[in-house]
Structures are given as C-alpha cells and as structure tokens.
Amino acid sequence: MDYAGIIIPFVGGLGMFIYGMQIMAQGLENAAGNRMKSLLQVLTKNKFFGVLLGAFITAVIQSSSATTVMVVGFVNAGIMNLGQAMGVIMGANIGTTVTGWLVSAVEWAKFLSPGNLAPIAIMIGVIIMLTGTRRSTKDIASIIIGFGLLFVGITTMSSAVSPLKDSEAFCSIFVSLGVNPFLGIIAGALVTAVIQSSSASVGILQSLAAAGLVPFNAAVYIIMGQNIGTCVTAMLSSVGAKKTAKTAALMHLLFNVIGTAIFSVFAIIYFKVINTTIGQGIITQTQISMVHTAFNIVTTVLLFPASNGIIKLAKKIGKVEESEQDDSKVLLDDRMLETPSIAMQSTLSEVIRMGRIVEGTLDKAKTVMFTKDYKDILDIKEEEEKVDQLCGGITDYVIKITTLSINEREHEELAHLLQVISDIERISDYCENVSEYAETLQERSATFSEKGATELREMIEVCSDCYKYALDAFEDHDRDKAMIVIEKETRADDLEVSLRTEHMQRLANRECNTDAGIVFLDALVCMERISDHARNIAEEVLNMVK
C-alpha cells in the first residue's frame, strides 16, 4: 500500500481544514464583534449566563481551547472570578460541537455535498472579497471562503484515507480502541493535544468515519478523550500565570475528566452488557456529531449543580485562595488578544475603572484645601501613582490591539479611547496639584477668607460635576450627558474669569491672606483645566456616538 500517497494528501487536507476553520472563525468574530462585547457584560450576572456566553463565543471562534485560554487570561487579570470562569468553561464545551455539525452536514443535508458546494462557495467568496469595499462585506466573504475550504479539507482527508479500509492492520487498530476504552480515550486525548484543537480532532475522526473505518464504540471513547486533550492548550497557557489562573485551567481539566469518567462507565456497560452489537457497527459523521454534542450537553447538565464542588477541588489541588485585587494592577491579559472584540471591551471596562478611581480622588480633592487633612493629602498622591501605572499599562495594551486584525471602526474607537485615557490621567495630575496646594496652606498656616472659600467651593463643585457627567457619558455612551458636560464647562470658564477678577480686588484691598490668595488663583486654574479635560472626554463620547 502506498502510505506516502495517503499521508501527504491527508496532512494537506488537515491543513486546509484548519486554515478554513480559522478564516471562517475570523470572519464570524468580526461580524459578531459588537454582540460579543455586549454579551461579555452579562458575566457578572450568574454562572448560567456564563454557560451561554461560553457556548456563543466558542461557536464564533470555533475553538474551545481558545475560549478557555481567554478565560485563563480573564482570571489572571482579575476581571473574572473562578465561579464565572466555570460557567464559561462549561459553555465552551458545548459551543465546540458546531464545527462537527458543519462537517456532518454532507450527510443530513445532501445539497451540501462538498464536491458541489465547496468550489462554488470558494468562488463566490473570492468574488465578494475582490469586489467588496466595505469591511463587513469582506467579513462575509471570509466566512464563505472558510466554509468552502473546510469542506475541501475534510473531503481531501476522507479521500486520502479511503484505501485504508482495505487494510486489516489499520482496521484492527480501531477495533482494539473500541474493545479497550482506556486506549480509545488516550488516543483521542493525544491527537487533540498534539494539534491543540478539539474541532480539528473531531474533523479528523469524521474524515475516517466517512471512509468507513471507525467502529461506533471506538468513536465514543475517542470523542471523550478529545475533550480531555483540548485542556492541554489552557494548561500550557497558565504556565507563569497567577495561581488563580492555573486553577481556572485545572477546573477545565477536572470538568472534562469527571465527565469522561461518568460517560465511560455508562458506555462500557452499554456496549459490553446492554447492546453488544451496536458498538461494532461503523459510525457515520452525523452520529459522531450527535455523540459529541450529547456528551458535552449532558456533562454540563449533570455537573452544573456540582460546579462549586469542582471549583473547590481545583482550588484545593492548586493550593489557592482568591484575594483582593491590587487597584494599581492593570486587569488585562495578553490571552484576551486572541479575540480582539473581547480585548476591546475589557480595555473599555478597565478605562472606566481607572476613571472611577480618579472620581474618588477628585472627591478628596474637593475638600482637602479646606480641611488640610494629612491622610487625604497622602491618599491623593498614592492614588495618582496608581492611575499613572494604570494609564501606562492600558495604553500599552491598546497599542497591542491596534496591531491585530480589526476593522476601521475599531481603530477609530481605539484612537478615541487613547485620548480619553490621557484626559483621565491629566485630571488625576491636577488632583495631585490640589493636594500640594493643601500642603502649602498647612505649612504656612494660611486660610481662605469666608467669601474666598465659598467662591472656591462653587468652582470646585462645577468642575467636579463636569468630570462625573463626562465619566458617566463615556460609560453609558450617553449623548445627553456629554452635552451637559459642555454646558458645565462653559459655566466653569465664566466662573474662572469672574472669580479671578473679584479675588484680585480682594487682594488689592488686603481682605485676604497673600499666601492663601496665591493658592486660590492656582486652584482656579487647576479646576478650570479639570473641566477642560472633562469636556475633551465628552467630545470624544460625541464622536464615538456618531
């Protein structure tokens, strides 16, 4: 038998299958990007929503391994706790079954015959790609081309291995895998671990099934092994991560191992006691999809109530306890860059978190010049250092996203985001300036006159409201709140001019302390610039809303 004539086309078909799957997944991800961003927000609700989100994201990016790697990144960054991660991991196992159904469509939907549909799909996709100008059109073209290449790859693999059905030695290997469940599970796990894609591994199994090579019982054990093998990618990605991230990867492994153990017992009893003949029959591609889907859905249903126990077991094995997150640590992880739309949403959340820290700093700055409280002065300076660290880390992460495959609109969003980050950081700087003014007043035992204090409080209140409305507008993408910011910023400009004029008159009449008077003027400038940066944020919001 010409094994070279079998192996070379098979490897080429596998490469085409994986490449087609990636192209299709990229197109789907780009097309569903905004929906994925909004769905990410439900993570904070409950574990059930996490299951739905995990299934959706995995169906889009066509890889449970990639989803789990992303989850490890979320946990490592502190964005997601282990309970939320558990839900997404369970959902990822369900979402990964989509590829198998696409492949088996050649059996349950005859009009999808690869020989007819694949070349047509590729040609249509190429025509759309060459003639389309909009990014959304090119995304659709990628989906169609990837769909066609996936079918061409599976057909090539099936045709390559077809001669092996006449090989008694090769057929006996699969028979032995069916007779010995442990060997079947190990085989499935090893193949999946090597190619690091359960979807591709299932595709290989379906190509062998199309050639009439795989007994039913062997396929069942191999499928269960594939679910264990897909954990390898996440386990590798957790190397060097925090203990909680390693625990998330361990949860994925435990979930699949426990599910496999349960199903193995039932499968062994069924094939060896209840129905001894069905296991020896040849399985079809559609039946592989059915077994794969049933295994993952039933495992999720069975283990969902016990998910907290799995988390505790993983934490015990990993010797970890979740602790409070350091505010100065950037809660973003490079693993999330695998899915740019998710990375962008996470970055947006992180910018909002930085903005809320500055909001708290500004609240302290509102009173510190009047109380001269030493603790508040120190707190403001410490928080400013945190914001500087966050600003640098988030900016670096945004730059990484710009190097990915994102559309023009997303590039524009990132440009607006960078400007907002800069404005928030500058407001934090001005809060630190205010703390320094408080120190000056404290050192010189200076105080504002009653009228000066009243006027300065009014200015601070207007500028503080400017920033709070700007941050709310940014978080909610609210045009009306952005317009309120612009109105308040105009009010701040007018106040700065009038209060400066009145204060200069008081200084001339010796109605206030000179040291306090100088601080008053500096504080006016400082507050007016805070309102300027708040207006910049509002204008960026208006641009994004457009």
CB 223, CB 292: distance < 8 Å: yes
pLDDT of 283: 87
| CB neighbour burial string for 225-243, b if at least 16 within 10 angstroms, e if fewer | bbbbbbbbbbbebbeebbb
CB 534, CB 467: distance < 8 Å: yes
Q: How far apart, in Å, are the Cα atoms of 339 and each of 3, 237, 346?
A: 39, 15, 11
Return the residue matching tokens 């492994």: 253
| φ/ψ (deg, to 5) at 282 | -80, 130
pLDDT of 483: 94
CB 224, CB 263: distance < 8 Å: yes
Return the residue matching tokens 């317009």: 483
CB 516, CB 447: distance < 8 Å: yes
DSSP tag of 110: G
d(CA 362, CA 380): 8
CB 417, CB 543: distance < 8 Å: no
Neighbouring residues of 519: CB distance < 8 A, sequence distance ≥ 6: 369, 437, 440, 441, 446
Q: In the Cβ-directed half-sphere of 413, how many Cα atoms lie within 13 Å?
A: 18
For residue 159, give both structure tokens: 């045709």
Q: Give span(s): CATH 1.20.58.220, the chain.
A: 339-545
| φ/ψ (deg, to 5) at 510 | 55, 40
Query: What number of H helices and E strands is found in the chain?
Result: 22, 0
Q: What is the dihedral of CA 326, 330, 332, 334, to 10 degrees?
A: -110
Length of the chain: 546
d(CA 492, CA 537): 16
Distance of CA 302 to the CA centre of its chain: 27
- Bridge partners, 215 (sequence order): 282
d(CA 517, CA 283): 88
Sign of CA dihedral 492, 498, 504, 508: negative
Instruction: Render 215-284 in DSSP notation, one character per residue.
Output: BHHHHHHHHHHHHHHTHHHHHHHTTTS-HHHHHHHHHHHHHHHHHHHHHHHHHHHIIIII-TTGGGSBPP
- 3-state SS, residue 477: coil
CB 103, CB 210: distance < 8 Å: no
| CB neighbour burial string for 479-512, b if at least 16 within 10 angstroms, e if fewer | eebbebbbebbebbeebbeebbeebeebbeeeeb
Q: What is the number of other CB atoms lying within 10 angstroms of the CB of residue 54?
A: 30
The CATH superfamily assigned to 339-545 is Phosphate transport system protein phou homolog 2; domain 2 (1.20.58.220)
Q: What is the dihedral of CA 29, 30, 33, 36, to 10 degrees?
A: 0
d(CA 429, CA 388): 9
Which amino acid, one-letter code, is at 346?
S
Alpha helices by DSSP H, 330-407: 340-371, 374-402
Return the residue matching tokens 């495959």: 405
Which amino acid, one-letter code, is at 35?
R
Q: In the Cβ-directed half-sphere of 519, how many Cα atoms lie within 13 Å?
A: 29
d(CA 243, CA 538): 40
Provide the residue-wise pLDDT of the chain in tens; the chain has 546 residues: 566 777 888 888 878 877 887 777 677 666 665 555 555 555 545 678 888 888 887 877 667 777 787 787 777 766 677 888 888 889 888 988 887 787 776 665 555 555 567 788 888 888 888 887 777 787 788 888 887 887 787 778 767 877 766 666 666 776 677 678 888 888 888 888 877 777 778 888 888 888 788 888 888 999 998 889 888 877 877 776 677 778 888 998 999 999 999 999 998 898 888 887 887 888 888 888 899 999 999 999 999 999 889 988 988 887 765 554 556 678 787 877 877 877 888 888 889 999 999 999 999 999 998 888 889 999 999 999 999 999 999 999 999 999 887 778 888 889 999 999 999 999 999 999 999 999 988 888 888 888 888 989 999 999 999 999 999 999 888 999 999 999 999 999 999 999 888 888 877 777 777 788 888 889 999 999 999 999 999 999 998 877
d(CA 24, CA 33): 14
pLDDT of 69: 75
∠ CA(495), CA(498), CA(504), 5° rounding? 130
CB 160, CB 27: distance < 8 Å: no
pLDDT of 103: 72
Q: How far apart, in Å, are the Cα atoms of 64 and each of 144, 158, 171, 264, 291?
A: 22, 24, 30, 22, 17
